[in-house]
């Protein structure tokens, strides 16, 4: 089978990851193993998981069954909000590794800042030490606002290399992306396809798909790529997994990028999860 070569991006600490990876929320059990293994067979070389997806075992099994060697398959997991205390965080990372039966994660992120609890700096210190101990190679965060990132910098002197945030045409995160770019923090887009809840049937996206002879998902993922964001679309279908990877043979014009930018709305988040107030444990 021909495997697509996916362009890579270099994170500030030197880790190179593909600009498209595979999302795995809800992919569990033997069906999950099949879906993740097929993604690896199709050429995905970055897999996103989390302690709270309860599928790190599934992920590890798919990796063992799949054709990619461990060192060519960066794997991400994330620390849940209930384990932001230092000792709990270290144990959670170790537990994640035991579940996945892996020796290390390439990327480990704090899943949500949970600012009302206010313990994300402590969690960040644990991630810094987990990296020193070799449990993880690169450390980052998810759903952090600039104010949370600034606090990490002020209190530890170390900024994350990546921030995984909600980003799709209905909520395009333009100011947060600019802020991160100025500080060398790569933006990774979660739910890039709006979780299958209507974006792909949007008139503007469908018209562009027609004009470029591409599918709506390819238009959307190409838009992310041209904005410099890493995407992690999820699909349980091998056909759609391959479709989502095939975004490198064409380019959206500046005007068309602006048309898609114009779909963004202040209330465009999927489930109104504003990290300033929303918490997840
Ligand atoms: N850090 C965070 O807080 C956070 C939050 C949410 C998600 N995430 C991560 O981001 C990943 C991606 O987000 P997501 O899973 O929420 O949603 P998504 O990738 O935006 O959308 C997935 C949905 O789109 C459908 N789909 C995929 N490709 C398609 C195509 N080419 N044409 C039509 N439909 C298509 C899938 O259905 P089929 O399976 O039937 O193809 C599925 O229902 C997650 O899996 C997870 O790893 C992180």
CA dihedral sign of residues 91, 97, 103, 106: negative
Q: Which residues pair with 140 in a beta bridge?
A: 109
Contact 25, 236 (CB under 8 A): no
End-to-end CA distance of the chain: 41
Please name the residue that has the structure tokens 């990490």.
152
Query: Is 53 tagged catalytic?
Result: yes
Q: Is any atom of ligand 1 closer than 6 Å to the C-beta of 218?
A: no
Q: Evaluate if pTM is beyond 0.85.
A: yes
Say how many Å lie between the CA of residue 179 and the centre of ligand 1: 25
Give the three-state DSSP class for 160. coil
Report the alpha-carbon distance of residue 166 to residue 187 in Å, rounded. Answer: 10
Which of 125, 54, 130, 142 lies closest to 96, judged by CA? 54
**H or E stretch at 107:** strand 105-110
Write the DSSP string, 59-114: HHHHHHHSSS-GGGS-EEEEE-GGG-SHHHHHHHHHHHHHHHT-S-EEEEEES---
Say how many Å lie between the CA of residue 190 and the centre of ligand 1: 8
Burial of 249 (0-12, 13-18, 19+ CB in 10 A): exposed
Q: Is any atom of ligand 1 closer than 6 Å to the C-beta of 38?
A: no
Say how many Å lie between the CA of residue 151 and the centre of ligand 1: 30
pLDDT tens for the 281 residues of the chain, in order:
566 789 999 999 999 999 999 999 999 999 999 999 999 999 999 999 999 999 999 999 999 999 999 999 999 999 999 999 999 999 999 999 999 999 999 999 999 999 999 999 999 999 999 999 999 999 999 999 999 999 999 999 999 999 999 999 999 999 999 999 999 999 999 999 999 999 999 999 999 999 999 999 999 999 999 999 999 999 999 999 999 999 999 999 999 999 999 999 999 999 999 999 999 99
Tokens linked to 156? 């530890």
Could you tell me which residues come within 8 angstroms of residue 238 by beta carbon, excluding any fewer than 6 positions away? 38, 42
Report the alpha-carbon distance of residue 180 to residue 10 in Å, rounded. Answer: 15
């Amino acid at each position: 089978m021909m495997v697509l070569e996916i362009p890579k991006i270099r994170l500030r600490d030197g880790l190179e990851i593909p600009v498209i990876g595979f999302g795995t929320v809800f992919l569990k059990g033997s069906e999950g193993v099949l879906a993740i293994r097929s993604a690896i067979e199709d050429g995905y070389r970055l897999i996103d998981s989390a302690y709270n997806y309860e599928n790190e075992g599934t992920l590890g099994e798919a990796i063992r069954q799949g054709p990619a060697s461990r060192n060519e398959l960066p794997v991400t997991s994330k620390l849940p909000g209930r384990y932001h205390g230092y000792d709990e965080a270290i144990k959670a990372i170790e537990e994640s590794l035991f579940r996945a039966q892996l020796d290390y994660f390439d990327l480990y992120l704090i899943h949500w800042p949970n600012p009302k609890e206010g313990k994300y700096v402590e969690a960040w210190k644990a991630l810094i030490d987990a990296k020193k101990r070799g449990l993880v190679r690169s450390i980052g965060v998810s759903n952090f606002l600039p104010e949370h990132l600034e606090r990490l910098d002020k209190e530890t002197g170390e900024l994350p290399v990546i921030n995984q945030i909600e980003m799709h045409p209905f909520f395009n995160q333009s100011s947060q992306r600019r802020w991160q770019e100025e500080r060398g923090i790569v933006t990774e887009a979660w739910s890039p396809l709006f979780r299958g809840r209507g974006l792909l049937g949007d008139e503007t996206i469908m018209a562009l798909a027609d004009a470029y002879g591409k599918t709506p998902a390819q238009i959307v993922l190409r838009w992310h790529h041209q904005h410099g964001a890493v995407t992690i679309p999820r699909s349980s279908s091998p056909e759609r997994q391959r479709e989502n990877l095939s975004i490198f043979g064409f380019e959206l014009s500046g005007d068309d990028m602006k048309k898609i930018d114009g779909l963004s709305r202040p209330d465009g988040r999927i489930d109104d999860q504003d990290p300033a107030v929303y918490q997840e444990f």
